[in-house]
């Protein structure tokens, strides 16, 4: 299977090459030339497997250069003892129609681990397959959770170095502490003045700078990405939609073949896009409900077909979704319209004017499967309190946004269809907002908030978050956006 660029101005490459490059030379994102199809027999077989083998089976459909044994070895380690739940992505049934898919049982307590405990291993195997001698230098722009998950995934992986940029004013204290205390010999962490989009734009510019790449090449380095634009990030995410569906069938909640909606707290559109791929492959996916916070650019896009980032940027209690440019949307647009030229046009308009209009046909194609919705911080807090009160379920702010959007949609429709809500972070990562939502008044800050939340709820602080306050801060530097290239050059010297 070959991978093509969404802007169709670069050559097609193999899966391993797409993973090594991260982004195509024409600035587009790699997508598989065709989407593999599965049948009921495949789904039934998955039902009998544990999470690791399910993931390996789904990955195998996209990564033909990897043998089944190779992939099973990768997922066995990737979803092994580093997860605090043997099933890696367990389903928690909230009520008759609603299940929560918990994607935060990995080493950094956020769903990014689902991809980033596997992707570095896919990358190093890809480097071997392509005879690459240079050091892969991973550049990451993070809105909080990706950075830590990428650092943890790449820490001391031979043949790689990793540098993470995070918005100085855009991550929680817990997220910052997780990153600046990161261990490992091949890692670096720098704050950038501005918000996530500033950091992401800065990283994209570095990737697009050919002179910069040539200078690095002379020193034995090449740049790659661990952001959700890398196909190696997206592919492992497809697996948990399959796994959740199998678990619903096994629990007798749905009949094999019956459609299930998925409600996804969305930022860069990677998580929800994986669900779209799963549906295209033949998993009975009903609607994909795209849940946003006050940065509701996707809600408006799905409703009206106009993507317009010219709007105030809000810092919300769900910071991993504080995004105005959702990079992975480009993949959906390409798959729906099939024209790299058209996609290039949209992206050119986005960088020139900050907006584009996909027109009625493409808008309808998006609306066939996607529904958008958003909620405010206040509504999110109400939802956290309601989930705790009514179900004894503790949700983080991102998950609560999705639950609230689903609740509002069901109220509008006056009916409930079976739905899986993707839960993307441990509530202990966002202790301040969660405690406030539960009505607990506290003077504590940082890691002490997790302890306080544990005391209030009787639930344990996840191991990776306990004791963060005592760890040594290794990285306390910040730069302006225009100084990001110099920081990279210094790290890779
Ligand atoms: C990254 C992240 C999201 C958004 O996922 P996308 O793939 O960027 O849409 C939502 N919630 C949490 C906790 C995250 O870390």
In the chain, where are the structural domains located? 88-110+232-428
Length of the chain (residues): 493
CA of 295 to the centre of ligand 1 (A): 13
- Contact present, 21 and 224 (Cβ < 8 Å): yes
Residue nearest to atom 2 of ligand 1 (CA): 320
Domain 88-110+232-428 top-level CATH class: alpha beta
The parts of the chain modelled with pLDDT lower than 70 are none
Q: Strand 370-374 and strand 135-141: pairing? A: unpaired
Pocket test residue of 237, 264, 320, 375 for ligand 1, highest count of atoms within 8 A of CB: 320
> In a mutational test of the pocket of ligand 1, which residue from 101, 104, 106, 110 has the highest number of ligand atoms less than 8 Å from its CB?
110
Location of structure tokens 């909606």: 261
The pTM assigned to this predicted structure is 0.93
How many Å is the maximal CA-CA distance in the chain? Answer: 63
Name the residue of 114, 319, 321, 324 to mutate for ligand 1: max ligand atoms within 8 A of Cβ: 321
Ligand 1, atom 1: nearest CA belongs to which residue? 320
pLDDT for 143 equals 76
Atom of ligand 1 minimally distant from the CA of 269: 9
Q: Whose CA is nearest to atom 11 of ligand 1?
A: 424
- The pLDDT value recorded for residue 61 is 98
pLDDT at site 382: 98
Ligand 1 atom closest to residue 270's alpha carbon, by position in its atom list: 7
Question: Which residue's CA is the nearest one to ligand 1's atom 15?
Answer: 145
pLDDT of amino acid 267: 94
Alpha-helix runs per DSSP H in 261-396 = 270-281, 297-304, 329-337, 340-353, 359-369, 377-391
Fill in the DSSP letter of residue 356: E
Rounded CA-CA distance 234/227 in Å is 9
Q: What is the pLDDT of residue 158?
A: 86
Pocket of ligand 1 (CB under 6 A): 110-112, 145, 228, 265-271, 320-321, 398, 424-425
Question: To 5 degrees, how large is the angle CA 370–CA 372–CA 373?
Answer: 155
Predicted local confidence at residue 7, as pLDDT:
96
Question: In the annotation, is 148 catalytic?
Answer: no
């Amino acid at each position: 299977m070959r991978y093509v660029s969404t802007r169709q101005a670069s050559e097609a490459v193999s899966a391993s090459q797409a993973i090594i490059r991260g982004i195509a030379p024409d600035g587009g994102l790699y997508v598989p030339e065709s989407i593999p199809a599965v049948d009921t027999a495949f789904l039934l077989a998955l039902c009998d497997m544990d999470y690791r083998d399910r993931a390996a089976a789904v990955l195998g459909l996209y990564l033909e250069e990897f043998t089944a044994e190779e992939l099973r070895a990768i997922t066995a380690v990737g979803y092994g003892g580093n997860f605090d739940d043997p099933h890696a992505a367990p389903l928690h049934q909230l009520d008759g129609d609603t299940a929560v898919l918990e994607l935060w049982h990995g080493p950094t307590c956020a769903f990014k681990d689902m991809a980033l405990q596997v992707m570095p291993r896919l990358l190093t195997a890809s480097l071997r397959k392509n005879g690459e001698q240079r050091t892969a230098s991973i550049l990451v722009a993070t809105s909080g959770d990706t950075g830590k998950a990428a650092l943890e995934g790449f820490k001391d992986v031979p043949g790689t170095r990793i540098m993470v940029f995070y918005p100085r004013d855009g991550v929680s204290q817990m997220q910052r502490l997780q990153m600046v205390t990161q261990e490992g010999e091949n890692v670096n962490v720098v704050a950038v003045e501005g918000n996530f989009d500033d950091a992401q734009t800065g990283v994209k510019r570095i990737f697009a700078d050919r002179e910069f790449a040539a200078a690095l090449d002379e020193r034995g380095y090449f740049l790659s990405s661990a952001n959700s634009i890398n196909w190696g990030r997206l592919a492992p995410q497809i697996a948990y939609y399959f796994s959740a569906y199998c678990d619903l069938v096994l629990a007798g909640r749905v009949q094999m073949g019956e459609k299930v909606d998925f409600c996804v707290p969305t930022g860069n559109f990677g998580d929800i896009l994986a669900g779209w791929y799963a549906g295209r492959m033949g998993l009975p996916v009903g609607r994909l409900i795209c849940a946003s916070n006050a940065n509701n650019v996707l809600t408006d896009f799905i409703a009206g077909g106009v993507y317009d980032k010219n709007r105030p940027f809000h810092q919300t209690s769900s910071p991993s979704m504080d995004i105005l440019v959702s990079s992975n949307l480009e993949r959906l647009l390409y798959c729906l319209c099939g024209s790299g030229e058209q996609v290039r046009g949209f992206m050119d308009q986005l960088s020139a004017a900050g907006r584009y209009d996909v027109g009625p046909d493409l808008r309808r194609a998006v609306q066939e499967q996607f529904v958008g919705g958003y909620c405010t911080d206040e509504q999110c807090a109400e939802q956290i309190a309601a989930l705790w009160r009514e179900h004894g379920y503790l949700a983080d702010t991102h998950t609560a946004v999705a639950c609230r959007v689903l609740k509002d949609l069901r109220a509008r429709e006056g009916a409930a269809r079976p739905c899986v809500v993707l839960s993307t972070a441990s509530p202990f990562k966002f202790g301040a907002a969660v405690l406030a939502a539960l009505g607990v008044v506290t003077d504590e800050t940082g890691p002490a908030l997790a302890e306080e939340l544990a005391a209030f709820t009787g639930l344990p602080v996840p191991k990776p978050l306990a004791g963060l306050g005592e760890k040594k801060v290794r990285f306390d530097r910040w730069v302006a956006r225009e100084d990001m290239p110099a920081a990279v050059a210094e790290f890779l010297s």
